[in-house]
Amino acid sequence: MNKPLRRIAIFCGLLILTLLLRANWLQYVQAEELATRKENRRVQIAQYASERGNIIVGDKAITGSAVTDGSDYKYKRTYIDGPMWAPVTGFASQAFGSTQLESLEDGILTGNDDRLFFDRTIGMFTGEKKAGGNVRTTLNRAAQVAAYKGLGKKTGAVAAIDPRTGAILALVSTPSYDPSSFAGNSKKDEKAWVELKDGKEKALVNRALRETYPPGSTFKVVTSAAALEHGVITDVEAPTDTPEPFYLPTTRTPMVNHAHGCEKASLKHALEISCNSVFANVADKVGRDKMLETAEKFGFNNGKIDTPVRAYASVYDKEMDRPSNSLSAIGQYNTAATPLQMAMVAAAVANDGKLMKPYMVDELTAPNLDVLEKTEPEEMSRPLSPENAQKLQDMMVSVVENGTGKVAKIDGVSVGGKTGTAQHGERNSKRPYAWFISYAKTDKGSPVAVAVVVEDAGASVDREDITGGGLAGPIAKDVMEAVLKSQG
**pLDDT at residue 452 greater than cutoff 70:** yes
The residue ranking higher by pLDDT, 422 or 406, is 406
Distance CA 452, CA 343 (A): 8
Question: Where does the pLDDT of residue 369 fall: very low under 50, low under 70, confident under 90, or very high at 90 and above?
Answer: confident
**pLDDT at residue 300 greater than cutoff 60:** yes
pLDDT at position 19 is 83
pLDDT at position 117 is 60
pLDDT at position 126 is 58
**pLDDT at residue 127 greater than cutoff 60:** no
pLDDT at position 460 is 43
For 162-182, how does the pLDDT look when each residue is reduced to its tens digit (9 = 90+)? 999 999 999 999 999 999 999
For 87-108, how does the pLDDT look when each residue is reduced to its tens digit (9 = 90+)? 999 999 999 999 999 999 999 9
pLDDT at position 457 is 55
pLDDT at position 1 is 58
For the chain, the average pLDDT equals 90
Residues 254 and 246 sit within 8 Å (Cβ to Cβ): yes
**pLDDT at residue 427 greater than cutoff 60:** no
Q: What percent of the chain has pLDDT over 70?
A: 89
Is the preceding omega at residue 243 within 30 degrees of 0, hence cis? Answer: no
**pLDDT at residue 463 greater than cutoff 80:** no
Full 3-state SS string of the chain: CCHHHHHHHHHHHHHHHHHHHHHHHHHHHCHHHHHCCCCCHHHHHHHCCCCCCCEEECCEECEEEEECCCCCCCEEEEECCHHHHHHHHCCEECCCEECHHHHHCHHHHHCCCHHHHHHHHHHHHHCCCCCCCEEEECCCHHHHHHHHHHHCCCEEEEEEECCCCCEEEEEEEECCCCHHHHCCCCHHHHHHHHHHHHCCCCCCCCHHHHCCECCHHHHHHHHHHHHHHCCCCCCCCCECCCCCCCECCCCCCECCCCCCCCCCCEHHHHHHHCCHHHHHHHHHHHCHHHHHHHHHHHCCCCCCCECCCECCCCECCCCCCHHHHHHHCCCCCCCEECHHHHHHHHHHHHCCCCEECCECEEEEECCCCCEEEECCCCEEECCCCHHHHHHHHHHHHHHHHHCCCHHHCCCCCEEEEEEEEECCCHHHCCCCEEEEEEEEEECCEEEEEEEEEEEECCCCCCHHHCCHHHHHHHHHHHHHHHHHHHCC
Question: Where does the pLDDT of residue 9 fall: very low under 50, low under 70, confident under 90, or very high at 90 and above?
Answer: confident
* CATH fold of 210-361+381-486: Beta-lactamase (3.40.710)
Active site residue 93: no
Which of 126-130, 231-235, 280-284, 375-379 comes out lowest in average pLDDT? 126-130
Distance CA 141, CA 18 (A): 61
pLDDT at position 124 is 54
**pLDDT at residue 432 greater than cutoff 70:** yes
Q: What percent of the chain has pLDDT over 90?
A: 74
pLDDT at position 118 is 59
Distance CA 462, CA 477 (A): 23
**pLDDT at residue 429 greater than cutoff 50:** no
Give me the mean pLDDT over the 282-311 stretch: 97
pLDDT at position 14 is 82
pLDDT at position 109 is 95
Give me the mean pLDDT over the 61-81 stretch: 90
pLDDT at position 119 is 62
Region at 353 (left for phi over 0; alpha for psi -120 to 50; beta for the rest):
left
**pLDDT at residue 130 greater than cutoff 80:** no
For 338-356, how does the pLDDT look when each residue is reduced to its tens digit (9 = 90+)? 999 999 999 999 999 999 9
Give me the mean pLDDT over the 374-394 stretch: 98
pLDDT at position 115 is 82
For 249-259, how does the pLDDT look when each residue is reduced to its tens digit (9 = 90+)? 999 999 999 89
Q: Which of 173, 180, 181, 217 is catalytic?
A: 217
pLDDT at position 232 is 98
For 193-218, how does the pLDDT look when each residue is reduced to its tens digit (9 = 90+)? 999 999 999 999 999 999 999 999 99
